[in-house]
Amino acid sequence: MNTKYLRTEPIDILLRDDESLVLLPPDLVIRLSPIATAIHQALAHPMDAAALAAVVQRRFGSPPGDQSAEEAVTLMVAELCDAGILMVAPRD
Amino acid sequence: MAGTYASRVETPRHLRLNALGTTLSVEFGDAVPLEYIAVVAHAWKRCIDAPPPAGDHPAAEPLVLRQPSSSDPDHHGAALQQLSRDVTLRLIAAQTGRLLMFHAGAVTDPETGRTLVFIAPSGTGKTTLSRTLGAHFGYVTDETVGIDPRTGRIHPYPKPLSIITGTGRHKTETSPDSLGLLPHHTAPRLANVILLDRQPNATSATLEPLDVFTAIEGVVPQSSALNRLPRPLNTLAELLEARGPVHRLTYAEASAALPVLARLMEVST
């Protein structure tokens, strides 16, 4: 089974245009780019990297260079997990 | 001096401080010298003389001081600084979940109530700037600013200022009256927020407008109990966006910042 991801529960989210600020406990504020914001919004429900890449690709197109959308999304998801924005979703 | 200010003490061993939109009772045990209480009453005179907050307001947890402080004035400094810290913590605790609170100084236009709030970490120039600006505008606080998020009303906290005196390195909690600082407007309201960026090598004082995300990224680390307010980021953004951009002030000396901030006070709405 593919790993699914889910966003952690923020205290608050501020959206302006395509960007967002996320406030995590106790008072850590993190600025998300438009792509990170789209990922964060999509992961209100568990999703694996392939499904997430499809969401991002539909909205932002393919990444430049040889990197696939899934590879690029996987890297970004790892960074967001490290920052405490996302987590691996519990298995059903 | 002790006799002069002892008369302002509600009872000889009880002070009531009205600040940050709440009231804090300070009681002194029998072992605390009256001379020390008189020094406290002098330093905190503006909070003692302030009217009690109107309407519904929280009560701060009373502060009880049992430890004797030496009657030698040279030894009052550390006790007064600790008292300032304890008072601030209790006021913040009382207003948690009610006010937006920042580590900040503030001054107000004595006639209009427009208030500049300048945010910075401890030890980076808030008190010096408060002292400089407070000689020209009403002194609101040098430590903690509390703002009603619905209205932008600011609840003053005109505490004593920690000032380095003489040639020593010790700080003295000094009454704003002793420093000649002007009293604040009776109903200060937020006009503009400034993030302080003190750069010793800056050749002039400059203001740079910030987008709301950059502003909030700078403001949040200097907030108190922000996460206890409902929708804190959105509440903060709405308050800031309604009052024009937050500015970053880069400066070396408070004297150079004065004319820049005076102009900002004039154009603020």
Distance of CA B49 to the CA centre of its chain: 16
- Asked whether the beta carbons of B103 and B121 are under 8 A apart, the reply is yes
Which of 110-169 (B) contact A at CB < 8 A? Answer: none
Q: B7 or B171, which is more confident?
A: B171
Q: How confident is the model at residue B164 (pLDDT cuts 50, 70, 90)?
A: confident
Of the listed ranges A28-32, B117-121, B163-167, B220-224, the one predicted with least confidence = B163-167
Min Cα distance A63 → chain B (Å) is 26
Q: How confident is the model at residue B87 (pLDDT cuts 50, 70, 90)?
A: very high
Query: What are B13's two structure tokens?
Result: 């061993």
- Asked whether the beta carbons of A52 and A42 are under 8 A apart, the reply is yes
Query: Is the predicted pLDDT of residue B11 greater than 70, yes or no?
Result: no
* Residues of B in Cβ contact (< 8 Å) with A21: 213, 216-217, 233
The string of pLDDT tens digits covering residues B31-81 is 999 989 999 999 999 999 999 998 888 889 999 998 776 766 667 888 999
In angstroms, the CA B71 to CA B37 distance is 10
* Residues of A in Cβ contact (< 8 Å) with B223: 27
**Whole-complex ipTM:** 0.92
The string of pLDDT tens digits covering residues A12-43 is 999 999 999 999 999 999 999 999 999 999 99
Core vs surface per residue B158-194: b (16+ CB within 10 A) or e: bbbbbeeeeeeeebbbbbbbeeebbbbbeebbbbbbb
Q: How confident is the model at residue B3 (pLDDT cuts 50, 70, 90)?
A: very low
Select from B219, B158, B119 the least CA-distant residue to B19. Answer: B158
Phi and psi based region of residue B100 (left: phi greater than 0; alpha: psi -120 to 50; beta: remaining): beta
Interface of A to B at Cβ within 8 Å reads 11-14, 16, 19, 21, 23, 25-27, 29, 31
pTM for the predicted model, two decimal places: 0.91
* Residues of A in Cβ contact (< 8 Å) with B237: 14, 16
